[in-house]
Amino acid sequence: MYMDGFMKEYTQRDYVGLEELVGPIFIIRNVHNVGYNELVEIIDDEGVPRLGIILEAGKGYAVVEVLKGTSGLSLKNSKVRFKEKPLLVGVSEDILGRVFDGTGNPIDGMPRPFYDEYVNVNGLAINPTARDYPENIIETGISSIDVMNTLVRGQKLPIFSGSGLPHDILGTQIARQARVKGESFCVMFVAMGVKFDTARFFIRSFEESGVLERVTVFLSLADSPSIEKTLTPRLALSCAEYLAFKKNMHVLVIMTDMSNYCEALREVSTIRGEIPARKGYPGYLYSDLAGLYERAGMIKGVKGSITQLPILTMPNDDITHPIPDLTGYITEGQIVLERELFGRGIYPPIAGLPSLSRLMKDNIGEGLTREDHPALASQLFACYAKVKDIRALASIIGEEELTPLDHLFLKFGDEFEKRFLNQGHYERRSLENGLDLGWEVISILPKDELPRIREEMLKKYYKPRKNES
Amino acid sequence: MQKVAGKVYRVVGPVVEIEEVSFLRMLDMVEVGEFHLVGEVVRLIKDRAYVQVYEDTTSLKAGDVVYTQGYPLYVELGPGLVGEIYDGIQRPLSVLKEKEGVYINRGVHVNALRRDRKWRFIPVIDCGHTINEGDVLGEVQETPLVKHRIMCPPGIKGQLKWIIPQGDYTVDEKIAVVEKEDGVSQEITMCQRWPVRKPRPYKEKLPIGEPLITGQRVIDTLFPVAKGGCVAVPGGFGTGKTVIQHQLAKWSDAEIVIFVGCGERGNEMTDILLTFPKLIDPRTQRPLFERTIFIANTSNMPVAAREASIYTGITMAEYYRDMGYNVALMADSTSRWAEALRELSGRLEEMPLEEGFPAYLASRLAEFYERAGKITTLNGSAGSISIIASVSPPGGDFSEPVTSHTKRFIRCFWALDRDLANARHYPSISWIDSYSEYIEDIKEWWHKNISEEWLSLRYNIMDLLQREQRLQQVVKLVGPEVLPQRQRLVLEICSVFKNAFLQQFAFDPVDTYSSARKQFLMLKIILQFYHTSDRLLKKGLRIAEIKEKPVYQDIMRMRLKYTEQELNKLEELLKKVEAMDSEDL
């Protein structure tokens, strides 16, 4: 996105010769007036330029990290140009419907889009007093999200998955189906460290369903340099900020896979010789992740919004691993995929109890979604929790020993999973239908077991089955 | 006033090394480069100084000039603090927004206190008096809730030569002149400065004796905190730490509340800023905004300022304490502060200990918590600071360094439980792992103000909860059906206690706050229900029959049903429960 066309933004000063090359980093001496975190262009022996960023700016020297790696660079012949500005990214509305690589170059065979302006990739912190509280939901067409863990505009709601679980399918399904009522809406799909097959799957799935024109894809493949992977989400978020806060669009940013991002960050940090904290991850992992996640939100007086749906695979399904742990501390809830549900063929395998959307409470109910939504969601959670307890008890004392009520709960649990949670990869179920289905399965239980739902609601929506009443 | 202190030698993230340094002292505040980025000296070696910079250092260069005013990082103290929202180094965010727009740019210098606002100053002392440090010179009605006492700053004493008559003045105007003992005249304004890392002086520490009533039942009744006490609230993500902090900021009966959002979510601060002006204090019927100071250094704001935010908060707390107020400081979250410490320590290439935290983590925590307490101020009145600090242990593991060190310096511990949170039992304070060492200190207050029975009832219910936990282990193996009726009653009562007492909806208008009296009545009702039911069981009734009684439903719904104005109905309910066994048999 910055490779050509806008170099006029930068001044140039050339130096020849490096002092030291280690991994993706080099040290150069006898340079002056170089600023921390600024952009550098390195021209290798063949005359091909690559980009670098200044990690340490000292008196008469600089330490530079090369984005595309240092292979083929020589100490003697490498030419270094200091650009005297931090890394900028070009943004415009023309990026919609396009596919870019991890550094922002188009890879869909079309020419580079025209950019309206160039902005710093790291963005700036939003003043908390300028933020607006997220409101209005985003309908994903997936009942277990819309009904149970509602996604709200301006929210950051990650999907915690494990290797082998269908998070990619879920991610693309959300990108295809997500809607906001009557407003302009687009999706940034950011893939970091994904395999080529997966990348192709993403693009094809968008093309086939005809939504590509409102999706922008950033692909940083598994074999691209680690530093590039740490840059890709920042590029995408800078574009998202432009579309949301300058062009009043509602932008949904799907980032997969944050675990690859963190691995890349760890690798880069180790090469830089930084002191590691937990499990070798740098001590600033929290601040770094916050620098990405906190770019979600809404601003007072601006119509657009940035909603984030980061996807991460928990190493070894361990939710206490630093990546899901620190993510959970920053984001507003989490959607957890469960291996056991997946094993039973239920898609999407969204675990009932550990999943949570913190911003749901203020944005559902009468006048927002439907009057029965809060009570029904809360009651479904409570009843499903009880199902889990009864199943645990049944595995010890045997199902025969259970009371008739317990059996009803088991039946509810089965139907809840098979009918309510379960839905097709291309099935778009409206919130309305999702709620109705929720009532259908919860009506297996007697009214007395539904204390969280008020009497009037029960009268209106509770529908006992004929053969059982 | 600003002098050149040296030149930048090298820049690595927020740490800047400076050369050609001659007169800088440790912790002196400096301004670096053309943008005048604010920083603090953290290490001095020969003619070099290391500075931690509170703002983004992008584009700083070797050779950039560093300036200093020759004093340490300070906060401005004076009328205008209450109701304002600051970042970690006391820049008012609302003013930044007016000046700079939506995003926080670097190198912006604004005064913490508005210079254009006039305050009505009412002198309370006449000329000619001898005055000491901390003596009150006059008063300003800062908000309808807070009477701001203008005090003689520490370090100044002598004879009051002149004091301005009642009138409206800005914080920069001279309001008094003191002739010090050495004959020098000292001008006093309504605004004073204090270095954030230095505790403000006081006369002596006092023993603790009064609870901080928070209106949260599980806290006030089971694990109370005292005015002047320290609490840690550890819990993994999603266990409800922040909601507890918000509830305490809203309802605790402190006169001043300082909320430090340290490295947390931007949207949470927005939530607070939007909801607080609408909330009404149940005691004074005024908006809670009028007694609260906010400090917001969200997770994406510079990490060095996050480290400073805790000190900025506690220094403001001490200032209001010195006026004789009870101050509550909420810090959410101290783990983020510790991580900022770790990040900066790493950049300074210090030797790391456990999990990369620096060796001085424990002593920094100790210094912070020791700034809480109940004290006699320099002018002889009593004030207190209570600290409620949340801790975010990685993976919910309480053995990690920040939680385990924090436990050494606090006396009250509210452990948040993941299982309770998953079952949507909020507040998810575990009754098994939590403790409070303040119970003995504050029992006198309860006995004097509420009832002599308080302590014994509390031990009664704790005993039942312990028994229930043991019984639950049996139930897990064999199911509840096989237990004898009297043991099942213990399970039943604990279930009632959990549903009707411990759980509290923060978002329900009635349930969000329970007065001490209501809490006591509810506890008494539940325990009375236990004793009466136990008698009924002996007479041959079964639990299912007891549960069908109308009082049972009444008990289950009492927390939502009866407002603070209807406590007499709770007393009626208590009488009904007492009479339960006489009515049937």
pLDDT band at B561 (very low <50, low <70, confident <90, very high): confident
Reading the block at residue A15, the tokens are 């130096």
**Residue with the two structure tokens 């006699």:** B376
CB-based contact B500:B559 (threshold 8 Å): yes
* A11 vs B: CB within 8 A: no
CA B506 vs CA A331, B244, B250, B430: distances in Å: 21, 8, 10, 17
Instruction: Using CB atoms, pick whichever of B103, B336, B355 lies closest to residue A126.
Output: B103
Task: Kindly provide the residue ranges of all beta strands, DSSP E only, lying in A2-152, ordered along the sequence.
Answer: 13-16, 20-22, 25-29, 38-43, 49-58, 61-66, 79-86, 88-91, 99-101, 117-120, 131-132, 137-138, 151-152
Reading the block at residue B109, the tokens are 């210098």
β-strand B65-72 against B3-12: which pairing, if any?
Answer: antiparallel
CA–CA dist A321, B237 (Å, integer):
13
Residue (of A464, A442, A468) closest to A453 by Cα position: A442
CB-based contact A383:A352 (threshold 8 Å): no
- The answer to whether the Cβ–Cβ distance between B266 and A38 falls below 8 Å is no
Q: What pLDDT does A448 receive? A: 81
Q: What radius of gyration, in Å, describes the C-alpha atoms of chain B?
A: 27
Strand partners, A191: A219, A256
Q: What pLDDT does A11 receive? A: 64
Residue (of B251, B267, B399, B393) closest to B330 by Cα position: B251
Q: Which residue of B has its CA nearest to A289?
A: B300
Residue (of B246, B216, B256, B219) closest to B442 by Cα position: B219
Domain boundaries, chain A: 13-85, 89-362, 373-461
Question: What is the maximum alpha-carbon separation in chain B?
Answer: 94
CA–CA dist A231, A247 (Å, integer):
23
- The answer to whether the Cβ–Cβ distance between B59 and A393 falls below 8 Å is no
**Residue with the two structure tokens 């050494």:** B408
CA–CA dist A390, A406 (Å, integer):
7
Q: What pLDDT does A311 receive? A: 95
> How is residue B165 annotated by DSSP?
P
CATH number of A89-362: 3.40.50.12240
Which positions in chain A touch B395 (Cβ < 8 Å)? 319-322, 325
Residue (of A420, A343, A431, A425) closest to A170 by Cα position: A425
Q: What pLDDT does A145 receive? A: 95
CB-based contact A252:A190 (threshold 8 Å): no
Helix (H) or strand (E) holding A290: helix A285-293
Q: What pLDDT does B585 receive? A: 46
> How is residue A344 annotated by DSSP?
T
**Per residue in B383-403, pLDDT tens?**
999 999 999 998 888 899 999
- The answer to whether the Cβ–Cβ distance between A36 and B269 falls below 8 Å is no
- The distance of B268 to chain A (nearest Cα, Å) reads 8
Q: Is residue B582 scored above 80 in pLDDT?
A: no
**Per residue in B104-157, pLDDT tens?**
888 888 999 999 999 999 999 999 999 999 999 999 999 999 999 999 999 999
Q: Which residue of A has its CA nearest to B304?
A: A287
- The answer to whether the Cβ–Cβ distance between A128 and B422 falls below 8 Å is no
pLDDT top residue among B350 and B32: B32
Q: Is residue B253 scored above 60 in pLDDT?
A: yes
Q: What pLDDT does B583 receive? A: 63
Task: Name the H helices within B450-549.
Answer: 454-478, 485-497, 516-538, 543-547
Instruction: Using CB atoms, pick whichever of A133, A275, A299 lies closest to residue B346.
Output: A275
Q: What pLDDT does A4 receive? A: 44
For Cα atoms B55, B61, B65, give the angle at the middle one, nearest 5 degrees.
80
For Cα atoms A340, A343, A347, give the angle at the middle one, nearest 5 degrees.
95
* A382 vs B: CB within 8 A: yes
Write down the pTM of the prediction.
0.90
- ipTM score above 0.90: no
Q: Which residue of B has its CA nearest to A64?
A: B12
CA-based end-to-end distance of chain B: 89
- The answer to whether the Cβ–Cβ distance between A277 and B104 falls below 8 Å is no
The residues near A451 (Cβ < 8 Å, ≥ 6 apart) are none
Q: Is there a shared CATH topology between the A13-85 domain and the A89-362 domain?
A: no
Q: Which residue of B has its CA nearest to A397?
A: B478
User: Which residue type sits at B526?
Assistant: I
Q: Is residue B347 scored above 90 in pLDDT?
A: no
* Residues with pLDDT less than 50, chain A: 1-6, 468-469
- The answer to whether the Cβ–Cβ distance between B267 and A134 falls below 8 Å is yes
Strand partners, B61: A35
CB count in 10 Å sphere of residue B380: 11
Residue (of A355, A330, A304, A291) closest to A154 by Cα position: A304
Reading the block at residue B243, the tokens are 């909601």
Q: Which residue of A has its CA nearest to B354?
A: A277
Instruction: Using CB atoms, pick whichever of B266, B298, B356 lies closest to residue A283.
Output: B356
DSSP-assigned states of every residue in A197-227: HHHHHHHHHHHHTT-GGGEEEEEEETTS-HH
CA–CA dist B191, A157 (Å, integer):
44
> How is residue B287 annotated by DSSP?
B
Mean residue pLDDT of chain B comes to 91
Q: What pLDDT does B215 receive? A: 94
β-strand A151-152 against A137-138: which pairing, if any?
Answer: antiparallel
- Chain A 332-351, CB below 8 Å of chain B: which residues? 332-334
Instruction: Using CB atoms, pick whichever of A124, A328, A397 lies closest to residue B105.
Output: A124
- Chain A 103-142, CB below 8 Å of chain B: which residues? 120, 122-134
- The distance of A291 to chain B (nearest Cα, Å) reads 5
Which positions in chain A touch B60 (Cβ < 8 Å)? 35-36, 57
- Chain A 393-452, CB below 8 Å of chain B: which residues? 393, 396-397, 401
User: Which residue type sits at A381?
Assistant: F
Q: How many CB pairs under 8 A join A and B?
A: 200
Instruction: Using CB atoms, pick whichever of B13, B103, B423 lies closest to residue A124.
Output: B103
Fold (topology level) of A13-85? Elongation Factor Tu (Ef-tu); domain 3 (2.40.30)
